[in-house]
Amino acid sequence: MLRRRELVIPILFFFVATIFISFLQAEANPKMQKQSFGKTEDGQPTDLYILTNKNGMEAAITSYGGTVVSLKVPDRNGKIDDVVLGYDKLEDYAAGKAYFGATVGRYANRIAHAKFTLDGVTYTLPKNDGDNHLHGVFNKRVWDAKDVSGRDGQALELTYVSKDGEDGYPGNLSVKVVYTLTEQNELKIDYSATTDKDTVLNLTNHCYFNLSGQGNGDILQTQLMIRADRFTPVDATLIPTGELRSVKGTPFDFTTSTVIGARIEQDDEQLKLGKGYDHNWVLNNATPGSLLAAAQAYDPHSGRLLEVSTTEPGLQLYTGNFLDGIRGKGGKVYNRRNAFCLETQHFPDSPNHPQFPSTVLKPGQHFQSTTVYKFSAK
């Protein structure tokens, strides 16, 4: 029989070792931080989640609108900057019209005359962009959040149930968005959804990037490449005409890396309609379910490279043409062309263009879509 006194040393050793191991684990896998982001006007609490990785990259995401509030990324010298536009406070997100960093839906981009017909029924949506409907309301909703961190990195799951009739759309739609910050400096966004009635769905993320750092001037020197031989030209209200037009010989040819500012002021009918780039590109070789390289943007000043891959068939390049002196994070002011968006998506106004890839979701189907924003520096 061991005496009590003889047991003291092994027990003590066990406790010290356990504490030491959990300390080491905590060092290796720091936990996602959570803090309050304030209450909405109608009293709903929102939170801000800070995802980090071992390379010093950090993504702050709020449950309000499933919004990326900041994205801190090293440059070629290891200097960290926040590369997305946004606001410091919830009230500004609630009042804002720019969709900074937001999860956009139920239908990202425009629906002509705010109307579409599905199964013989015509649905009318709110007009919030002239005569058209733009982007839906998901960015102004409070999502349920859950830490689902795992082997791939720290991960935040956001869920939202959009009720049948909300914003005019049919069907109770359950949406899930999972943001994962990987050790490869990727912000991976996995979308999934189910419905109890036929509906239309187009989800995207609306980060406004400035790879030199948010608020640090324009993005006209950013070198952009888009893997698309065609784009969807638009009418005067930015609704696709239905044509898939070759980019060859036009300012829309980004098949080889070209600075955004090189042709943006050209005397081109489509550029004039968009007041710059505000168009959807038809991604080459898009195959449902396949994650393919879609675009890359390189900032020669900081050396930051952003590579975008997606399972989606389309990509909207928006060059911040309507930014008009918005006061954003840390007092920075955002003017025209101070950021660009690369919104992976289905084509605008697909519900009214039966020849475009379908955006209809039916009961029993499981919608899934992935987009990865990967950062590096050279």
The answer to the question of residue 99 lying near ligand BGC (CB under 6 A) is yes
Choice from 98, 282, 339, 377 touching ligand BGC (CB under 6 A)? 98
The answer to the question of residue 81 lying near ligand BGC (CB under 6 A) is no
The answer to the question of residue 322 lying near ligand BGC (CB under 6 A) is yes
26-34, 255-263, 293-301, 314-322 -> range binding ligand BGC (CB under 6 A): 314-322
Q: How many CB atoms lie within 10 A of CB 354?
A: 8
Q: Is 350 helix (H, G, I), strand (E, B) or coil?
A: helix
Closest approach, Cβ 278 to ligand BGC, in A, equals 5
Residue number, 20 or 322, with CB nearest to ligand BGC: 322
Site for ligand BGC in 271-290 (CB under 6 A): 278
The answer to the question of residue 343 lying near ligand BGC (CB under 6 A) is yes
The answer to the question of residue 349 lying near ligand BGC (CB under 6 A) is no
The answer to the question of residue 254 lying near ligand BGC (CB under 6 A) is no
The answer to whether 206 is a known catalytic residue is yes
Residue number, 189 or 377, with CB nearest to ligand BGC: 189
Among the listed residues 135, 312, 343, 353, the single catalytic one is: 343
The answer to the question of residue 312 lying near ligand BGC (CB under 6 A) is no
Closest residue to ligand BGC using C-beta atoms: 318
Cα gap 200→109, rounded to integer Å: 12
The answer to the question of residue 218 lying near ligand BGC (CB under 6 A) is no
The answer to the question of residue 235 lying near ligand BGC (CB under 6 A) is no
Among the listed residues 206, 279, 346, 353, the single catalytic one is: 206
The DSSP letter of residue 244 is -
9-17, 166-174, 187-195, 316-324 -> range binding ligand BGC (CB under 6 A): 316-324
Residue number, 85 or 145, with CB nearest to ligand BGC: 85
In which residue are the tokens 């997100």 written? 93
Q: How many CB atoms lie within 10 A of CB 342?
A: 26
Cα gap 27→31, rounded to integer Å: 9
43-51, 163-171, 184-192, 315-323 -> range binding ligand BGC (CB under 6 A): 315-323
Cα gap 178→189, rounded to integer Å: 6
Residue number, 112 or 377, with CB nearest to ligand BGC: 112
Max intra-chain CA distance, the chain = 94
Can you name the residues that pair with 281 across neighbouring β-strands?
Answer: 231, 315
User: Beta strands 45-52 and 33-39: pairing type?
Assistant: antiparallel
Q: How many CB atoms lie within 10 A of CB 196?
A: 14
CA dihedral 314, 317, 322, 327 (to 10 degrees): 110
Q: Is 64 helix (H, G, I), strand (E, B) or coil?
A: strand
Cα gap 125→321, rounded to integer Å: 25
Residue number, 13 or 322, with CB nearest to ligand BGC: 322
Where do the DSSP E strands lie in 230-351?
230-232, 245-246, 258-259, 278-282, 292-298, 304-310, 314-318, 324-327, 333-335, 341-345
- Tell me how far the alpha carbon of residue 1 is from its chain's centroid: 65
The alpha carbon dihedral of 195, 314, 325, 189 has a sign of positive
The answer to the question of residue 20 lying near ligand BGC (CB under 6 A) is no
Residue number, 162 or 205, with CB nearest to ligand BGC: 205
Percentage helix, strand, coil for the chain under 3-state DSSP, each rounded to 5: 15, 40, 45
Choice from 316, 359, 369, 370 touching ligand BGC (CB under 6 A)? 316
Residue number, 98 or 271, with CB nearest to ligand BGC: 98
Closest approach, Cβ 136 to ligand BGC, in A, equals 11
Q: How many CB atoms lie within 10 A of CB 43?
A: 6
Choice from 100, 107, 318, 367 touching ligand BGC (CB under 6 A)? 318
Enumerate binding residues for ligand BGC (CB under 6 A).
Answer: 98-99, 238, 278, 316, 318, 322, 343
Which residues form the catalytic set? 206, 343
